[in-house]
Structure 1
Amino acid sequence: MTVPPEAERLLESEPLMAHLGTCSEGRPHVAPVWYRYEDDVVEIVTTGRKLANIRENPRVALSIQADEGGDTKWMVTLLGTATVVDDAAGTGAARRRINEKYDADPDAYAENTLVRVEIGSASYQTY
């Protein structure tokens, strides 16, 4: 298991925004995304520049942080390899799982494509 059990609990604990880092023309591109973590895999559904970047270079980073009153409670950083899943049924199922986590309409963001990130390494800190 790549992600330590305590970090797994943090990743699954609340619907927080993740920041997805991809590479675009040799430079970092970072954007907020909703995510779902399970068994060393992160699912996101996305489109646009993030998706194009992943198709060109699958190495990604994710940073998730919980704050309270401006003070950091914990942070998790994940490095991994992304795979674009060009499958409408798989994307729809993942989108519904992610939207459920964030209490959103299950069918929102229908234009997005599923990306699975297999975690290669993880670090975390609690404060």
Structure 2
Amino acid sequence: MSIFSARSLSAVALSVFAFITVAHAASTEMSHDMAMSMPMENHMSAEIYHGQGVVKKTTANSISIAHKPITALNWPAMTMTFSLPESGSLPVVKAGDAVDFTFSQQAEGYQLASVTPTK
């Protein structure tokens, strides 16, 4: 085998090794991204966000709140309807009450975790 052939073979082997290393790193990174796109119900706990606002309407299973901007989500001030947790253990609030609240994103939308009237 000539020196040229040996060098070419070494270069090809090194290129293949580098490609495999990069491909493995990319596939490992991709698998992490794929896990992040799974529905929220597959996660042990959803991220909890905090907001402040005024209750606009309450029903048996939801509360509509006109909230201030929520910077953690880059949301402007708006009115949103949040579902109540299945436990129904939140304090009673009525339209016009100023509240602090926490919520998380669920598969079916945004769900309140807590709501506290403010004075």
TM value normalised by structure 2: 0.31
Higher Rg of the two aligned structures: 2
Say which structure is richer in helix: 2
**Higher RCO, Cα 8 Å, sep 6+:** 1
TM value normalised by structure 1: 0.30
Say which structure is richer in strand: 1
